[in-house]
Amino acid sequence: MEEIIRIPESRIGLIIGEGGKVKAELQKSFGAKLTINEDGTVEITGKEGLNIYKMKKAVEGIARGLSLDIVLNLCDDDYDLEIIHLEEILGKNKNILNRYKSRLIGSDGRIKKILEKKTGTDIAIHGKTVAILGKFEDIADAKSAIEMILQGNDFNSVFATLDNRMR
């Protein structure tokens, strides 16, 4: 079985890692083979479809800014990665995209850290995307909170909603 994905050329080095360490760890952990081409094409091959799927998600997570340690959680069947494409929600206006990305991050990353802590997820904001890695139910909570922020809701009401869900 084979899966082919594209990642930005600027992110290839992150997938390979120093001395090929990241690539080797991904291959060992997910039991599939990675072939990374200079044009950003990544080929994932293996015998198990689930392993290929999980490695694809791991590569996408690293390309979006998550660390190797975090994406290795995808080895656990309870974990997944969801990517929110901001342009689909906010449109293509760069000023609007940057303003809402800044809202999601907060000063010194405060809002992002609170979202991660309250939902038990890891969040990476890169380019025009938000990547959320965590357990399925936690991803749903994080995605809902992010959508509320993107709709302009007050942070306190977003956090109160999360607190109520966690009870």
The CATH number of whichever domain residue 111 belongs to comes to 3.30.1370.10
Which residues form the domain of 8? 2-74
Q: Give dist(CA 21, CA 69) in Å, integer.
A: 12
* pLDDT for the residue 153: 96
42 with 89, same domain? no
Hunting for tokens 């959508």 — which residue is that?
147
37 with 111, same domain? no
67 with 20, same domain? yes
154 with 83, same domain? yes
143 with 65, same domain? no
> What kind and span of H or E run contains 91?
none
Domain end: 47, 74, 101, which one? 74
28 with 61, same domain? yes
* pLDDT one digit per residue (tens) for the chain, 167 residues: 999 999 999 999 999 999 999 999 999 999 999 999 989 999 999 999 999 999 999 999 999 999 999 999 999 999 999 999 999 999 999 999 999 999 999 999 999 999 999 999 999 999 999 999 999 999 999 999 999 999 999 999 999 999 998 76
105 with 68, same domain? no
129 with 83, same domain? yes
Q: Give dist(CA 3, CA 25) in Å, integer.
A: 19
- The number of domains in the chain is 2
Strand pairing class (41-45; 122-126): unpaired
Domain end: 14, 39, 74, which one? 74
65 with 10, same domain? yes
